[in-house]
Amino acid sequence: MQTMSFVENVAQELQPQPARSVYFDLADGQASARELEMAEYYLSDQLVKAAHLESDLPERMEELGAWMQAGVEQVGQSYRSYLDARQAGGARRYFTNKSHALCFLKSVAPTKLVDGAWLYGLLPRWQDARFSSLIKTYLEELGEGLPAKNHVLLYKKLLTSQGCQRWDELSDDHYVQGAIQLALAHHAERFLPEVIGFNLGYEQLPLHLLITAYELKELGIDPYYFTLHITVDNADSGHAKQAVDAVFDAMPKLGDAGDFWRRVRNGYKLNLLGAITNSVIASFDLEQEMMAIFKRKSAIGQHAHSDYRRVAGRTVNDWLSAPAEVAAFTAAMEHEGWFKRHQDPQNSRFWKMIQSEKAKMFGVFSAYEQQVIYDWIAGDAASEFTCTASSARLPQRRLPAETKRRLLDAPQPEQVADESFDNDFDAEVRALEAKLDASANQQQTMSMLLALMSPANHHTAPGLKATQIFSELFAAAS
């Protein structure tokens, strides 16, 4: 079994790549041999850093069950205290406003969009009973091939619904967790105890998950992605229990159990590196986020305005040509009445220019950016009204409930029975089925399925189909 000395030597000999580089090298599923090698070096370096951190894991493996139960009780008590405080009129603990919550969703996207990735490297061992609980966890992260349950698809849908698709400008720290997960996915053979340890930490139910779900719902954001994790990570029969069982299932009977446990403990501590939930929430600054949005818009807006409109004697184009002066620009706009800070944003001229379909600047700002602008204008007066950017838009015509029910219950058009019918939507799935039918043996079949179940592919149409087929084969073999 690999020892820590190898990890330390590798980390000392090579300069690891930035987390962002590792993340995008691996995320598209097209990593070269060199990129995979650099990802291994990156993971080795992260393990060296993790070794110096403190952990709440027990010293003895035999105490894991009691440790898990104690954690469950502590989280439950803390959440009960939180609910009591909120019901007594206390303020939200995490999110000061809706834009704070949306910024959080955007900031953890690199991690959430590779959800479950660290377990991918175990799939080739699908017939080894020692790893059954871990593979089961991976399949459940993938929704067992059902789009409505696939965690990555759920998070993509959440981001899209809130206008938070753009997250590529995040700092390197925000990519650390995702890079670790992807590196573990591609190097499970060498870092098996660390994979098991990371899984042990990631799958325990944390307090922040419960509070996040509660406050997202309160702010009108669908919390399903988070509530789903609350149910599947339970300590009785869910991922938390499976994670503990996996440690004992994989523990070597003839090898060095002590070294195995030490490496599991170090893998557990990988969860503490980079930007994590609590640090991301604490780092939000509404003023900085507002200025960052205007700086981004200045690049494309500096040539889009006529010279007729001036602010503090300067044209808008002139202001926008100097991104460093964004704060001065917004201050000048406020002075001239474009922003009426700490009032209902509906009273501000600038808000009226961006928030409706007939507005002069319709489409310039995404839903997320509008929410930040809305909350920034509202400022200290936000508690006086509950309207948010999304609800401040023009009302949408809704179908009567009875009409909607009839439409949903109406018989759907019959599907074309001829499988040779040229349907671009299902072409990839049909191609997969044809290849599986033509495969010569089980090994070839599994090779095709596993490639499509990778972190880069499992949420695609052929990936979902491959997951469904694998899930059936895995269940039959268990």
Q: What is the pLDDT of residues 329-366, one digit of tens each?
A: 899 999 999 899 999 999 999 999 888 767 778 778 89
On whether the CB atoms of residues 465 and 429 are closer than 8 A, the answer is: yes
The answer as to whether 418 is a domain residue is: no
107 and 184 housed in the same domain: yes
| Banded pLDDT at 417 (limits 50, 70, 90) | very low
- Name beta bridge partners: 315: 310
| Banded pLDDT at 237 (limits 50, 70, 90) | low
| Banded pLDDT at 386 (limits 50, 70, 90) | low
Residue 208 confidence (pLDDT): 96
| Banded pLDDT at 436 (limits 50, 70, 90) | confident
In the predicted structure, residue 86 carries a pLDDT above the cut 80: yes
269 and 292 housed in the same domain: no
The answer as to whether 105 is a domain residue is: yes
- Name beta bridge partners: 314: 311
344 and 360 housed in the same domain: yes
Give 71 or 361, the one with higher predicted confidence.
Answer: 71
In the predicted structure, residue 397 carries a pLDDT above the cut 50: no
The answer as to whether 394 is a domain residue is: no
Residue 405 confidence (pLDDT): 61
In the predicted structure, residue 399 carries a pLDDT above the cut 60: no
DSSP state of 118: G
In the predicted structure, residue 72 carries a pLDDT above the cut 90: yes
Task: Name, in order, each residue with C-beta under 8 angstroms of 215's C-beta and a sequence gap of 6 or more.
Answer: 92, 93, 94, 95, 101
The SS3 of residue 311 is strand
266 and 301 housed in the same domain: no
The answer as to whether 391 is a domain residue is: no
- For CA atoms 131, 272, 234, 227, the dihedral sign is negative
Total domains present in the chain: 3
Q: What is the mean pLDDT of the chain?
A: 88
In the predicted structure, residue 418 carries a pLDDT above the cut 70: no
Percent of the chain with pLDDT strictly greater than 90 = 68
Cα-Cα-Cα-Cα torsion 397, 402, 406, 408, nearest 10 degrees, comes to 60
The whole domain housing 325 covers 286-384
72 and 199 housed in the same domain: yes
108 and 207 housed in the same domain: yes
**Largest distance between two CA atoms of the chain:** 81
Task: Name, in order, each residue with C-beta under 8 angstroms of 356's C-beta and a sequence gap of 6 or more.
Answer: 362, 393, 394
Rounded to an integer, what distance in angstroms lies between the CA atom of residue 9 and that of residue 84? 51
Give 109 or 297, the one with higher predicted confidence.
Answer: 109
The answer as to whether 421 is a domain residue is: no
70 and 134 housed in the same domain: yes
Give 312 or 328, the one with higher predicted confidence.
Answer: 328
Boundary of a domain, candidates 248, 282, 316: 282
Boundary of a domain, candidates 242, 259, 282: 282
Closest CA to 397 of 368, 367, 357: 357
| Banded pLDDT at 392 (limits 50, 70, 90) | very low
Give 189 or 432, the one with higher predicted confidence.
Answer: 189
What integer is the mean pLDDT of 245-260? 92
The answer as to whether 420 is a domain residue is: no
- Low-confidence winner among 55-59, 245-249, 293-297, 339-343 (lowest mean pLDDT): 293-297
Closest CA to 6 of 272, 270, 273, 259: 259
CA-derived radius of gyration, the chain: 25
| Banded pLDDT at 310 (limits 50, 70, 90) | confident
272 and 304 housed in the same domain: no
The answer as to whether 83 is a domain residue is: yes
Residue 233 confidence (pLDDT): 63
| Banded pLDDT at 391 (limits 50, 70, 90) | very low
Residue 466 confidence (pLDDT): 96
For strands 314-315 and 310-311, give the pairing. antiparallel
In the predicted structure, residue 8 carries a pLDDT above the cut 80: no
320 and 430 housed in the same domain: no
292 and 266 housed in the same domain: no
Residue 301 confidence (pLDDT): 57
Residue 88 confidence (pLDDT): 97
Boundary of a domain, candidates 266, 282, 298: 282
Task: Name, in order, each residue with C-beta under 8 angstroms of 349's C-beta and a sequence gap of 6 or more.
Answer: 337, 338
| Banded pLDDT at 323 (limits 50, 70, 90) | confident
The answer as to whether 227 is a domain residue is: yes
27 and 99 housed in the same domain: yes
- Low-confidence winner among 201-210, 332-341, 382-391 (lowest mean pLDDT): 382-391
